[in-house]
Structure 1
Amino acid sequence: MLKEYTTPLKESIDADKNVFDLLADRAQRTPEQTIVAYRGSDGEWTGFTATQFRDLVVAIAKGLIAKGLMPGDSVGILAHTSWQWTAMDFAIMSIGCVTVPIYETDSALQIRSICNDSTISYVFAEDDEQRDKVESVKDECPTLKGVYVMQLGAIDAMVELGKGVGDEEFLERETATHGDMLATIVYTSGSTGTPKGVELTHANFVYCVQSGFQTLPEITYEPGNRLVLFLPLAHVFARYMQFLCIGGNNVVALTSNFKTIIKDFQEFRPTYILSVPRVFEKVYNAATQRAGSGFKGRVFAKAAVVAYQWSVTQQEGRKPSPALRAKHALYSKLVYSQLLEVFGGARCAISGGAPISRKLAHFFNGIGLPLLEGYGMTETCAPCAVNTFNAFRIGTIGRPFCGMSFAIADDGEVCIKSPSVCRGYHNHPELTHEQIQDGWLHTGDLGDIDDEGFVRLTGRKKDLIITAGGKNVSPEKLESQIVTSPLIDHCLMVGDRKPFIAAIVTLDLEGVNTWLVSQGGRPCESLEEAAKSPLVYSEVDRVINEANENVSRAESIRKFEIVPDEWNVDNGMLTPSLKTRRAVITKHYKDFIDQVIYAPKKK
């Protein structure tokens, strides 16, 4: 390894605890404190105390025992984020069984593949629609014995079934569940290639949670912190956060209704936000569009500049000038306070899943909502590096978590060594051997580590674009800057073995129309119309040219095409964490790339 950095543990971590111990310890420590919140049937917030939730989990686990589930048996959960998901998860793992999360967007064929690969015994589905997908392939899944529907009383059925199982039998199963036992098989969201099942043990998760307490105690263990968790629990980052909140001293509100997420923030009043960069981009773009191009627009533009200057000054360790302090105080009242209220008054946000543009990070930091960018993988139980309140450097993913090590290999690849690293890939020993060598997980990301331990990512090995001229280009930095435009939904750079770098752009129709009206233009009725608009093309061209100023000519986008399409999870263009599936998109647009973007010159 060329470089290596380890953040030491502040206190030792018990490697033999299981995930249920996190809940049991919380119930013993704060028995009457609400730990899980959700909206009830009347739309009002309600929840479970630590004791109530532990007792519910134990009751469900007894039902699973009564069903005949034995240690090592796999149980699937196919549902949106909810308290039922969390309760089932804890119950399954508490008795030595293995939780297999399935994305609610997965197709029947994907469900069949996961069921057979992990030999699932039962699936707990959210509703009839999800059950129907499972039932359609049930005959092709030899180990699948049945499907239970949560909205049709599956939880109550398990509790009722478990009434014949004594406390002693549950306790025997729970105490026999040790840290080295398999807790879950998490299938990667698959930005490239076919999703693989990552095997994570109880010790993997417990170590990562306990390390999180030591790394960010201000938001993970100090009493009174609150989180609205809306990311899919099938994703390891959200899954980790539920364990972190319940095992720490947080209240976690579980919801999956994106239509009410702003209302949820403002009513639940989270102390911190967890999200992916796309959400912050949307909030910033919406604020820009609402301000318009008149007086309010000019005020917002000036406020954005001041926020950026304030953040840069802070990051450089300088004191702001009296003039900057006065401007910042003014815009705090006029602009920043209203933006912070969108997030319910949260004091910070944790951003992960994809790179975030420096401009956006400086903006939010400048208004008083620092985006603590972090990094993690399914293979590491999610987070393994993060910026903290005491060590915050925009443009990096922070330092390693306590008790974890980062290193840079000879070819620039980022490698990680930690007790939170998975034990391997399910049914793929060859891949395990390839990815985990001498205890080091090879991440596939490229980066560097400075002398203070801050890790900076520069791109993905597989995403590197190598032009015909031999120039290696990492697309993430430019792409993340371009999508901060309210008109642009996604941008994907292409150019592998081509003479120059180009890009495919998709539009945000709402953003386009708001911008068009502000310019005195007429709104477009469809993405097809917007993609053909000369005004829109001109603005996208301006945005891309501005972004190009930050890179060399060889790395710049020399040509772009706007496509009248929408990229989302349902059509397979995005992962559930909203990252573009580069390989899927380039394959889908192969003919378009070859014949339109890189059309052969006519002789």
Structure 2
Amino acid sequence: MRKEYTRPVSKPIDGDANVLSILTSRVSRTADKSLIEYKTDNQWKSFTASEFYELVKGLAKGLIRKGVQPGEAIGILSQTRWEWTALDIAIMSIGALTVPIYQTNSASQVQNIANDSHIRMIFAENDEQRDKVESVIDDVPTLGEVLVIDKTHAQYSVIDTLLELGKTITDATYQARVDSIHGDAVATIVYTSGSTGTPKGIELTHRNFVYMANSGIQSMMDICYRPGGARLLLFLPLAHVFARYMQFYSIGSDIVLGLSSDMKTIIADFQSFKPTFILAVPRIFEKVFNAASQKAGSGIAGKLFASAAQTARQWSMAQQAHQKLSMWNRVKYAFFKKVVYSNIMDVFGGQVDYAVSGGAPLDSSIAHFFNGVGLPLLEGYGMTETCAPACVNPTSGYKIGSVGLPLEGLTFGVADDGELCIKGAAVCKGYHNHPELTQQQIHDGWLHTGDLGDIDKDGFIYLTGRKKELIITAGGKNVSPGILESSVMISPVVDQCVVIGDKRPFIAALVTLDLNDTNAWLKAQGAAPVTDLEEAAKNPIVIAEVDSAINRANQQVSRAESIRKFEIIPESFTEANGMLTASLKAKRNVIVKHYAQLIDTKIYVLRSGK
């Protein structure tokens, strides 16, 4: 390695324990205090730590009664909800493997995952998901039954059934099973979202989760042991390893974990649950910023918001440079803090101290805006292969533009070709049914991430691009598309931006629009709304806004790396049409192939005969 940096552990971590130990440790500290909160009939209800442990134990006993053995795979096909968390811990506590399946996966995707992991049973959220599984059940030889979580047509759910079955299993029998499962046992197989090909199953062990939950807690003590209590509202899908990790981070500390999955009510949920920190992808923060900007409009209120946004960024940049604003700007900042910034903080419930951002590059202007408003976006980085987070910015001394410091006990390295590599207890056991890929990606203990980056003198990690997504133009210029794409997507009308140009004479972009956001923005500009995406793509006001977003993005790169042409696509990139992953990442190769004719005829005009 050309560079290495290890963050030492402040307190030894025992990684040989079962995942259940994360919950039992919480029970030993705060048995009668709220642990899991969930919404039903528009009211928040809760489980104490001891109540949730008894629930998990009862479900695990029910699984034992049904004959579930260590090493057998059990699927969960559901949105985020308390049953997901309870079933997950119950399954893993007795040595079986949880296989998360996104509720948006197609029947054929469910079939592929089930066959690859030899799933024995699947917990489906509702009748719709059950029907999806049963449509392919004849093609999954190992799948014995599909159990429905919801009480749709029955008085009792599968939760009630398992609890009843488990009554014939003694505590001693259950504890003996728990005690037989150690750190090196595989706890779960998590399938990647597949942005660069067929999803691969990644084997994560009990050690991965136990060690990294405790490492995360020790790395971010002031978030999870906040004076007055810490609260996290988790709304990302638990099928994603980042959200799943955060449930263990919360349970292993003193955080009250709120679970929600309805994005239509997320603002109301923030305001009623009142989280003290939040976890989200950059797109959420971009949409909050755009909504605030559009609400202000283009009149006096719009000018006030624009000035407030500029002042917030100035404050943040001064803070990052360890400088102070001028007296005049300090007066403006104090005024905007009362009049504008407090309203934005109220969107998140008014109690949020920090937000953790991950999953995609965070544009620096968004980071500086929220930092100035009073909500530091602590950017982090990780992979499914590292049990989600591998590094994150600290709450004190964070550096905007970096993805932070390694979590305690982890080592980051920079290889000779600039690739970031990771070593430590976070690294997965390997790729399920793909020993050749395991040998290719993990050697001498180092996980080769495929990302390019650097480490500064203080140990902060910086991403500079992705090896596989690096665009090399016909002129030989290497271009990392992420910084351009994340910048363009700040525009209030843009939904997705995909930069292209590999082996082409210049860099270009394919842009899609968000119809609702576009109409909200047009209204704020005093312009007439559009009826569909095709009309939006031809609207000169919208085109001018996209052009401005492209120009702003180009200011961050050299002329050779800049976007020279763009095309607005009058369609959406979605999971359904195969152009987005379940974690909402654009599938560049799929998109370029799908729009090959448009690219060749409208962007790169081919000469006749070539």
Counterpart of 1:97? 96
Partner of 2:154: none
Does residue 388 (structure 1) correspond to residue 394 (structure 2)? The answer is: yes
- Do the aligned partners of 2:356 and 2:380 also contact (CA within 8 Å) in 1? yes
**Residue 499 (1) aligns with residue 498 (2):** no
Q: Could you report, residue by residue, the CA deviation over 1:128-178 in whole angstroms, capped at 9, with x for unpaired residues?
A: 010011111111111111010000301111111111111111010011111
Note the residue ranges of structure 1 that are not aligned, 5 or more in a row. none
Q: Deviations over 1:330-370 (max 9, x none)?
A: 00111100000001121110000000100000000000000
Aligned position for 2:124: 125
Quick one: which of 165, 189, 205 aligns to 1:201? 205
CA distance in 1, matches of 2:97, 2:225: 27
The aligned residue for residue 557 of structure 1 is 563
Report what 1:217 is aligned to.
221
Provide the C-alpha distance between the structure 2 equivalents of 1:444 and 1:602, rounded to a whole number of angstroms: 38
Match of 2:19 in 1: 19
Range with greater deviation from structure 2 (562-571 or 207-216)? 562-571
- Give the Å deviation of 1:546: 2.4
Aligned position for 1:576: 582
- After TM superposition, the score normalised by the length of structure 1 is 0.98
Structure 2 Cα separation of the partners of residues 201 and 179 of structure 1: 6
User: 1:156 and 1:586 mapped to 2: Cα distance?
Assistant: 49
Opposite residue 399 of structure 1, the aligned amino acid is: L
After TM superposition, give the deviation of residue 602 of structure 1 in Å. 6.5
Write the mapping of 1:248-287 to structure 2, written as runs, cut at 5 A. 248-287=253-292
Inter-partner Cα distance in structure 2 for 1:526 and 1:46? 41
Bigger drift between 564-573 and 174-183 goes to 564-573
- Alignment-mate amino acid for residue 320 of structure 1: L
**In the aligned structure 2, how far is the partner of 1:214 from the partner of 1:247?**
11
Cα deviation, 1:255-284, whole Å, max 9, x if unaligned, reads 100011000000100000100000000000
Helix, strand or coil at the partner of 1:559: strand
Say whether residues 1:238 and 2:243 are aligned partners: yes
Q: Per-residue CA shift, 1:30-57, capped at 9, x if unaligned?
A: 00011000012x2100010000000000
| Whole-Å separation in 2 of the counterparts to 1:188 and 1:596 | 34
Give matches, 1:38-57, under 5 Å. 38-40=38-40, 42-57=41-56
Which amino acid letter does the alignment assign opposite residue 577 of structure 1? S
How many correspondences in the alignment?
A: 602
The answer to whether the 8 A contact 2:512-2:572 is kept is yes
Which residue matches 2:170? 166
Which amino acid in 1 is paired with 2:249?
Answer: L
8 A contact 2:297–2:525 mirrored in 1: no
CA distance in 2, matches of 1:591, 1:214: 52
SS in 2 for 1:361: helix
Match of 2:483 in 1: 477
Query: SS of the residue aligned with 2:340?
Result: helix
User: What CA distance in whole angstroms lies between the structure 2 residues aligned with 1:560 and 1:601?
Assistant: 20
For residues 216 and 545 of structure 2, the distance between their equivalents in structure 1, rounded to whole angstroms, comes to 43
Distance 1:186 1:550 in 2: 36
Alignment match, 1:82: 81
The one-letter code sitting in structure 2 at the alignment partner of 1:372 is: L
Distance in 1 between residues matched to 2:329 and 2:548, nearest whole Å? 29
Aligned-partner SS, 2:318: helix
Alignment of 1:335-354 (within 5 A): 335-345=340-350, 346-354=352-360
CA positional deviation for 1:222 = 4.1
1:176 maps to amino acid: S
Q: 2:314 maps to which residue?
A: 309
Q: CA deviation at 1:549?
A: 1.9
Letter in 2 for 1:350: V
1:395 and 1:410 mapped to 2: Cα distance? 23
SS in 1 for 2:420: strand
Q: Give 1:441's aligned residue.
A: 447
Distance in 2, Cα, partners of 1:523 & 1:116: 48
Quick check: 2:295–2:524 contact (8 Å CA) kept in 1?
Answer: no
Secondary structure of the residue aligned to 1:306 is: helix
Task: Give the SS at the match of 1:164.
Answer: coil
Q: SS of the residue aligned with 2:167?
A: helix
Query: Pick from 184, 189, 196: which aligns with 1:185?
Result: 189
| Conserved 8 A contact 1:232-1:576 | no
Pairwise CA distance, 1:591: 2.1
- TM-score calculated relative to the size of structure 2: 0.97
What code does the residue aligned with 2:557 have?
V
CA distance in 2, matches of 1:454, 1:36: 33
Alignment of 1:274-423 (within 5 A): 274-345=279-350, 346-423=352-429
Q: Distance in 2 between matches of 1:539 and 1:259?
A: 27
Contact 1:212 1:220 (8 Å CA) reproduced: no
Question: Is the 1:276–1:577 Cα contact (8 Å) retained in structure 2?
Answer: no
In structure 1, what is the Cα distance between the partners aligned to 2:527 and 2:379? 38
Mapped partners of 1:403, 1:92: distance in 2: 28
The question of 1:526 aligning with 2:532 is answered yes
Q: Which whole-Å CA distance do the structure 1 matches of 2:346 and 2:264 have between them? A: 17
Query: Aligned AA for 2:18?
Result: N
Alignment counterpart, residue 546 of structure 1, candidates 545, 552, 557: 552
* 1:267-319 deviation digits (Å, cap 9, x = unpaired): 10000010000000000011111111100000000000100000001001113
Moved more, 291-300 or 537-546: 537-546
Instruction: Tell me the equivalent position of 2:37.
Output: 37
Once the two structures are TM-superposed, the CA of residue 597 in structure 1 deviates from its matched residue by 1.6
RMSD of aligned alpha carbons = 1.1
Q: CA deviation at 1:418?
A: 1.2
Offset, 1:601: 4.4
The whole-number CA distance in structure 1 between the counterparts of 2:520 and 2:469 is 33
User: How far apart in 1 are the matches of 2:3 and 2:515?
Assistant: 46
